[in-house]
Amino acid sequence: MAQTHTLQQIQMLVDQVRLTIMSEQFDATPETKTLAREYAELSRQLNHRLRQCGEFLRQGLRSEAIREAESEPRLLEAVGVVDSLSEEEQKAWSDVCEFLELPRPEPMLNDAALMLDSAYEEHGPLEKLLRLHRRLALQRAPLSKRLAILRNLAVDDPTTEFWEEDILEYEKARHVQMFEELRKLKRSPSAAALSELRDEIDGAQWQTPVPRKVQVLVRELQQTARRDEARQALQEAETILQVAFAEMNFARARSAYAQWQENWPAAELADDDPLAIAAIPALSWCEQSAAREAEEADWNRTLAKAESLLERNDADLLALERMSDELDRFERPVPKTIDNRLQSRIASLNLRRRRHRLLVITGSSLATIAVVSLVTVVVLQANERSFRGDVLARIDRFVTQGEVEPATALLTKFTGRWEGSPEWLDAVNAVNELQSTIDERSRRLDTTLQEASAVPDNDEKTFREIRGRAQTIIEEQPVIQQLVDRMELSFRNLSSERGLRLKEREAALFQRLEAQSNQLDQLNARVAELEERTFETQIQRLKDALRIIEQEAAGMNPQIRDQSQLLMTQANELTGEVYRQIRRKKLLAEMADASRESFAGTRLMTDLYGELLGQLQMVTKEENALKELERVVQEKSAWAAIEEYRRRFSEPAEKLFPTSADQIAERSQDVADYLKSYPQSPLLGPVKDYAAVLAILEKRHGNSGSLVERVRLAAIDDFAMKNLYAVRVKNLDWPYYITDSRTFTEKQIVEISGYRQDRQPQLVRFSASQLVNRDAEPAPQQELAETLSSQLDQLEFNNWETTFRDMTQAVLEAKTVDPILRLRLLMILQMQAKEGSLTLPTHQPFVAYTSEQTGVSQQVNLLTQWPDPEDADVLQRRKKAEEYVDKLRVTEALKDVWKSSEDRFTSLAEILNRPYRAIGWMTRDDDGEPVLDIDVPPAGTWNLAICRLGETDGAEAVLRQIGHARNGEAVVPDDSLKYEFCPCRLVFAYPSP
């Protein structure tokens, strides 16, 4: 078999070639011969790989070419190392080889290397897309996702024609899928799915147009789905609207009303639709409520504008009158604080305007009279002004003190005497304003007193707030004594009445609390006798009664609330305890069922059991029981590992031990995932054994450098095996070999180019009369190659050794094939058989056999020029090889050499398929004694076991046997049960080996 070189070895060969050239000592030493042979073989191997990559690239298989080039040693790096020799150095070495008659290296196929380098440049940007494309294919991802990647590949890789072909095929398949999806969506429409499908149809660049039927159906279904979803939204909104309408709670209805308005157009409800009719009252109320809210907001804005206008000293009469009109538009009472200020400002501005007009009109006439009456008027006015001032001062004092009656009496007494005087008008307005203020404050006080009388007796906080508001009213300036007296007397009477009533109610509530306490004691004493529904009814009534008492006791003696809350806490604790016991019984029943479920369900049994176990922890209060549950909870990962073991590895032997590289990789990934997910599994031993077997299968059948491929390349597809023809000459035991089939027509001298193992042809001349046959016949090893190929094709996972035994026997029986070549084939077969076998590396007869064969091969030297029928040295080595091969051919002991690994596969398959099953659990009987609640398999012999965690953190769990079962009868020693007992621990069964 040809040696595979590493980059370091290649560099060493190149360096030795360069040193040999530089030394100029060109002798055919053993070292030089070895260097020439290895360097020539290296160039042949690299060119062979370059040809393969070039062929892949010509077929458009860029990824395959790069994969081949990436195998060790990496092709372009190896070629680069070889090409580091200059042209002069390469030519000098070729001359040395020719001079010493040594194998010459092949020139590197640089054109193929350049093609490969260009492929790398193109493959780089596409690598991510190609990797994603492959992953989606392995995951069986939806065609819509895979189509998107294919379209990107077609854009980024326009030179590869099959992308377009793949897109056409995928699009046709996607059209079919769309029909199927639409049929399903027709039965249960989904707006999201339809929208996604519509986006795919409209957004993608389709080479094959989507059928019009699909497009129309998508639009119709989208419209139907939108209509249905809108109707559903209307139904939800209508439900909330009806509840809010019944409560007259528009705040609760607001969002539902907006939802109705939003979805109404899309729902397309008919006028006589029952949903539309049922919602009419609530919708009308919502419209009215919304209108009222809008009107209230407008009213508040207008009041705010009025207050802002009154704060301005420069506000003119027109603006004030417009504001008054705007307030009148609402037909609502304006707050007195705003109305009085507004009307007073308007009246004051009107008066000022009238004064100005009167002064202008009468100014001229009064001027004439003024001169005549000056003396008289001056005297009279002086006296009148003095008296009027006294009267106005008294009125002002009464207004300031809040005494409206004496102020009104003075106004009445002098009515008509000073009506034209501005000071008198101001006094009239002041008295009127005082009267309005008193009236308004009196009305407010009446309203406050009514509110106070309506406050519940136990709502002292509200009562105090209302009293505070009344106090604020009477303290407003000017202080009205009669309002003060009235307020104090009224609240004194109300407080007295409230106190008497409150004491009576507190006494009644204490009596009701005592009755509920007695009832709770009776319920607690009888809880074990009551049915669940009876207990729920009675405890709920008691809680409702306590809630009512607590609500009624608000604002009363705090002891009532404290006693009520204490009884409520006791009731809740009793309820919780009862419900915990009920829930515990239900959970135990569910766990008893779950502990027997099959490992073949769609949901992991151990997940379900683990959830129930967690819920049981939540309802368990006893400390010892919780500790026992915590011990069991820690074993969940081991249970899951057993169940996952059954799911992953319970397969027929053909699936467990595949011969396809992809399937081997898939199974290896399953094993790796299992080992990563369950590092403490109690079944790690068989899984690791299985991983080792898969590693052997990977060696045999892997994608790169597999043993099968190596055998085929070295023992079947080798040039010397398939491409040679024999020319037999008289007086020679073995023929010459040529590389083509021909007929010799020469009459005297025949000249042939004889094949040599170093590929350096040997020119041979002899008389035509010496030919045994003038036709070159196929070399006998061609038939042997066909036989070996046929045998290799029959290779399965369990016949590795027998196949190589048969191939070895075929080589031994091929007596017409050169013995040295046969010995070389035997060495190849033994090496590959040993590397791919589970049994041969440690089988002593095989080890001895290969050791002997290696010794013979070293004596024969498998690299000798075996095709030469005349060389004395070759004849001697051929004789040794022939003696050895003939000795093997006739011995019977050879059959014992090939120990089959079929039993190993069968045994491992049985272990991997071992039907572990959960058959029940550990629990306690009614007397609290440990028992096994299990369903024993009705037939066969089974081991009964439980999972135990490792003694140290990270250690593997173990399946510990606690007993056995035979034909439905379980035998578990008492000591074993006592030692291993833990409530809720799962019990497993598996067949006895």
Mean pLDDT over residues 233-251, rounded? 79
pLDDT at 788: 93
What H or E segment, with its residue span, contains residue 947?
strand 941-948
More confidently predicted of 349 and 94: 94
- CA distances 868 to 28, 422, 749, 820, Å, are 20, 152, 19, 11
* CA–CA gap between residue 847 and residue 841 (Å, rounded): 7
* DSSP one-letter code for 658: -
Residue 420 has pLDDT above 70, yes or no: no
Please provide residue 986's backbone torsions phi and psi, each rounded to the nearest 5 degrees: -75, 145
Percentage of the residues of the chain whose pLDDT score is greater than 90 = 10
Mean pLDDT over residues 872-900, rounded? 84
Burial of 826 (0-12, 13-18, 19+ CB in 10 A): buried
More confidently predicted of 332 and 154: 332
pLDDT at 367: 42
How confident is residue 688, by pLDDT bands cut at 50, 70 and 90?
very high
pLDDT at 371: 38
- Token pair 């094959």 in the structure block, residue: 208
Percentage of the residues of the chain whose pLDDT score is greater than 70 = 82
pLDDT at 737: 92
* CA–CA gap between residue 727 and residue 755 (Å, rounded): 11
Which amino acid, 119?
A
Residue 801 has pLDDT above 80, yes or no: yes
173-179-182 Cα angle (round to 5): 135
pLDDT at 956: 87
- CA distances 535 to 539, 566, 589, 824, Å, are 6, 20, 22, 92
Residue 263 has pLDDT above 50, yes or no: yes
What H or E segment, with its residue span, contains residue 945?
strand 941-948
How confident is residue 445, by pLDDT bands cut at 50, 70 and 90?
confident
- Helix axis angle, 872-890 to 800-813, nearest 10°: 130
Mean pLDDT over residues 900-905, rounded? 89
How confident is residue 46, by pLDDT bands cut at 50, 70 and 90?
confident
User: What does the DSSP assignment read for 58-114?
Assistant: HTT-HHHHHHHHHSSSPHHHHHHHHTTS-HHHHHHHHHHHHHTT-PPPPPP-HHHHH
How confident is residue 372, by pLDDT bands cut at 50, 70 and 90?
very low
pLDDT at 36: 83
Mean pLDDT over residues 906-925, rounded? 89
Residue 260 has pLDDT above 90, yes or no: no
Chain segment 54-84, per-residue pLDDT in tens: 888 777 777 777 778 777 887 777 887 777 7
Chain segment 831-858, per-residue pLDDT in tens: 989 989 999 999 999 998 888 888 888 8
Which amino acid, 268?
E
762-765-771 Cα angle (round to 5): 110
* CA–CA gap between residue 366 and residue 512 (Å, rounded): 91
Residue 163 has pLDDT above 70, yes or no: no
Token digits for 743?
């007929």
Residue 303 has pLDDT above 70, yes or no: yes
More confidently predicted of 257 and 395: 257
Nearest residue to 200 via CA among 151, 239, 245: 151
* CA–CA gap between residue 39 and residue 97 (Å, rounded): 11
Residue 433 has pLDDT above 80, yes or no: no
* CA–CA gap between residue 571 and residue 854 (Å, rounded): 91
Q: What number of helices (H) and strands (E) belong to the chain? A: 36, 11
User: Is the omega angle on the peptide bond into residue 682 within 30 degrees of 0, that is, cis?
Assistant: no
Residue 785 has pLDDT above 90, yes or no: yes
Q: Across the strands, what pairs with 737? A: 726
Mean pLDDT over residues 323-331, rounded? 78
Mean pLDDT over residues 672-690, rounded? 91
pLDDT at 369: 43
- Give the range among 7-21, 778-792, 865-879, 955-969 with minimum mean pLDDT: 7-21
Token digits for 592?
């008893």
How confident is residue 214, by pLDDT bands cut at 50, 70 and 90?
low
Residue 279 has pLDDT above 90, yes or no: no
pLDDT at 218: 66
Residue 925 has pLDDT above 90, yes or no: no
More confidently predicted of 264 and 737: 737
pTM, 2 dp: 0.49
Which amino acid, 76?
L
Nearest residue to 470 via CA among 456, 455, 458: 455
* CA–CA gap between residue 191 and residue 218 (Å, rounded): 10
Token digits for 660?
């396809």
How confident is residue 418, by pLDDT bands cut at 50, 70 and 90?
low
* DSSP one-letter code for 988: E
Collapsing DSSP to helix, strand or coil, 607 comes out as: helix
- Give the range among 143-152, 215-224, 588-597 with minimum mean pLDDT: 143-152
Residue 772 has pLDDT above 60, yes or no: yes
More confidently predicted of 962 and 359: 962
Instruction: Specify whether the CB–CB gap between 836 and 699 falls below 8 A.
Output: yes
Chain segment 471-484, per-residue pLDDT in tens: 888 777 777 777 78
pLDDT at 373: 46
Mean pLDDT over residues 478-496, rounded? 80
Mean pLDDT over residues 190-203, rounded? 66
Residue 607 has pLDDT above 50, yes or no: yes
Nearest residue to 983 via CA among 631, 455, 561, 713: 631
Please provide residue 31's backbone torsions phi and psi, each rounded to the nearest 5 degrees: -65, -40
Token digits for 502?
């409150």
More confidently predicted of 882 and 127: 882
Sheet of strand 725-727, all strands in order from the earlier edge strand to the far edge: 736-738, 725-727, 777-778
Token digits for 647?
């799911």
Collapsing DSSP to helix, strand or coil, 577 comes out as: helix
Chain segment 628-664, per-residue pLDDT in tens: 888 888 888 888 888 888 888 888 988 999 988 889 8
* DSSP one-letter code for 31: H
Instruction: Specify whether the CB–CB gap between 252 and 243 falls below 8 A.
Output: yes
* CA–CA gap between residue 16 and residue 959 (Å, rounded): 61
Q: How many residues belong to the chain?
A: 993
Nearest residue to 710 via CA among 695, 724, 700, 721: 700
CA atoms within 13 A on the CB side of 386: 5
* CA–CA gap between residue 732 and residue 725 (Å, rounded): 16
Instruction: Specify whether the CB–CB gap between 162 and 60 falls below 8 A.
Output: yes
* CA–CA gap between residue 574 and residue 590 (Å, rounded): 24
pLDDT at 671: 92
Chain segment 548-585, per-residue pLDDT in tens: 888 877 777 888 888 888 888 888 888 887 878 888 88
Chain segment 730-768, per-residue pLDDT in tens: 988 899 999 888 888 888 898 888 888 877 888 889 888
Task: Look over the chain and give the mean of its residue pLDDT values, rounded to a whole number.
Answer: 79
Instruction: Specify whether the CB–CB gap between 957 and 685 falls below 8 A.
Output: no
* CA–CA gap between residue 914 and residue 909 (Å, rounded): 8
Instruction: Specify whether the CB–CB gap between 76 and 113 falls below 8 A.
Output: yes
pLDDT at 603: 55
